Amino acid sequence: MDSAAVDKIFLAKGRPADNPLIVHLACSTDVSRVAREVPVLARELMQRFWPGPLTLVLPKQKDVPNQVTAGLDTVAVRVPNHSVALELIRLAGVPIAAPSANRSGRPSATTWQAVAEDLEDRIAGIVCGPPTCLGLESTVVDMTSTPPRVLRPGGLSIEEMHSLIPSIQPYSARPELSRESLVNSPGLKHRHYQPRASVMVLDAETLKQSDFVLNSKSRRSHYIGLTHPGNSQAFQTVLVCHDAEEYASRVFDFFRQADLSKADLVCCECVPEVGIGVALMDRLRRASHS
C-alpha cells in the first residue's frame, strides 16, 4: 500500500488524519495481507457475508501504513459486493484503502454525479457507473473485542449476524469504550452526513401537527419519510418511500438534491430501529447535529 497515495485521499476529501480508512480486498483470501490475526468468528462472518456491506476490524499487519489506521494497531477490512469495485482492486493487484467519495462531513455520494460535485477538481478521474444499491455505508464490527461489537450500523443488520454470533454487542451511540475503540471505525468521531440545509428528525405525529405545518411554510422545506406529512403543500419536495430499505438508499441523494435547490430545511421522518432502520436513524441523527 502506497503511503503517498493514502495521503492524497485525506487531502482530496479534507479528511481529518485521525479518521481511519477501510481497506478493500478483492477476495477474502487476501485478508492475511493486511491483518495479522483473523479469529474463527471473523472467518465465519467473511464466509457468510463477503462480498457485502460488512467491515471487520482486525489486528493489522505491520506494513499497513499508519495513515490508513490513524496510527492504531487495528485495520478495518471488507470485500465490496460491486463488480466494478472488485475489478479495480484486482487490476490494482494490492488492497485499496478507500473512503466514501465525498468531501469530509458531506452526505455520502451514491452516484458518480455526486462524486463530481464534491471532488471533480480534486481527483484524477471518476468511474461513471450506476448508483449504489444500498445507499448507506457498510456495517463495522470490532472483532478485537470479546464479544464482537458493532461499531457502526450499516447495510448489514445485527439480526442477520445473530445466527453466527448470538453474543454480538449492538451499536450504541454512547458506548462505554476506550478512546481507541471509539475511533477505530470511520464515521464515529467527526461531523458526518450533513447537507448544507438544516435537518430535523420528526415522528409522524409531529409532522401532522398544524403548528409545525404553518411554521414550515415560511421556509424552503423538503420532506422524506415513509408516510405523507400533514400538509404536503408546506414542502417544496415530498418524497414518500415504500419501506426503510428504499428510504436508506435514497436519503443521501435527497440531501444533495435539497442543497441544489437551496433548501434551508430537510424534514426526515423517524423509522423503527430494527434491521436497516438502526443504520438509517444513526445517519439521520448525525445529519441533524449542528
Describe the chain by its helix, strand, coil percentages, rounded to 5: 35, 15, 50
Q: Is residue 117 part of a domain?
A: no
Domain that holds residue 176: 3-100+137-183
150 and 47 together in one domain: yes
pTM: 0.89
Q: Is residue 118 part of a domain?
A: no
For residue 172, what is its C-alpha cell?
450504541
261 and 174 together in one domain: no
Total domains in the fold of the chain? 2
179 and 283 together in one domain: no
141 and 229 together in one domain: no
Pseudo-torsion of CA 112, 116, 122, 128, nearest 10°?
30
Q: Is residue 150 part of a domain?
A: yes
Q: Is residue 116 part of a domain?
A: no
Q: Is residue 269 part of a domain?
A: yes
Q: Which of 110, 133, 130 is nearest to 246 (CA)?
A: 133
90 and 224 together in one domain: no
Determine the residue type at 225.
Answer: G
Q: Which of 151, 183, 215 is the last residue of a domain?
A: 183
84 and 24 together in one domain: yes
| Length of the chain, in residues | 290
C-beta separation of 88 from 173 below 8 A:
no
For residue 135, what is its C-alpha cell?
445507499
- pLDDT 10s per residue in the chain (290 long)? 788 999 999 999 999 888 999 999 999 999 999 999 999 999 999 999 999 999 999 999 999 999 999 999 999 999 999 998 999 999 999 999 999 999 988 899 999 999 999 998 899 999 898 888 888 999 999 999 999 999 999 999 999 999 999 999 999 876 554 444 445 555 555 556 789 899 999 988 887 775 565 555 556 889 999 998 877 788 889 999 999 999 999 999 999 999 999 999 999 999 999 999 999 999 999 999 74
pLDDT for the residue numbered 215: 59
CATH number at residue 223: 3.40.50.11030
The mean pLDDT value of the chain amounts to 89
| Number of alpha helices (DSSP H) and beta strands (DSSP E) in the chain | 11, 10
221 and 162 together in one domain: no
Q: Rounded to an integer, what distance in angstroms lies between the CA atom of residue 30 and that of residue 75?
A: 13
CATH number at residue 147: 3.90.870.10
pLDDT for the residue numbered 179: 46
Burial annotation 155-167 (CB, 10 A radius, 16+ → b, else e):
bbbbeebeeebee
269 and 205 together in one domain: yes
pLDDT for the residue numbered 244: 97
List, in sequence order, the alpha helices (H) in the chain.
3-13, 40-49, 66-69, 83-92, 112-119, 158-161, 179-183, 204-208, 210-217, 244-260, 276-288
Q: Is residue 43 part of a domain?
A: yes
For residue range 48-64, what is the model confidence (pLDDT) as tens digits?
Answer: 999 999 999 999 999 99
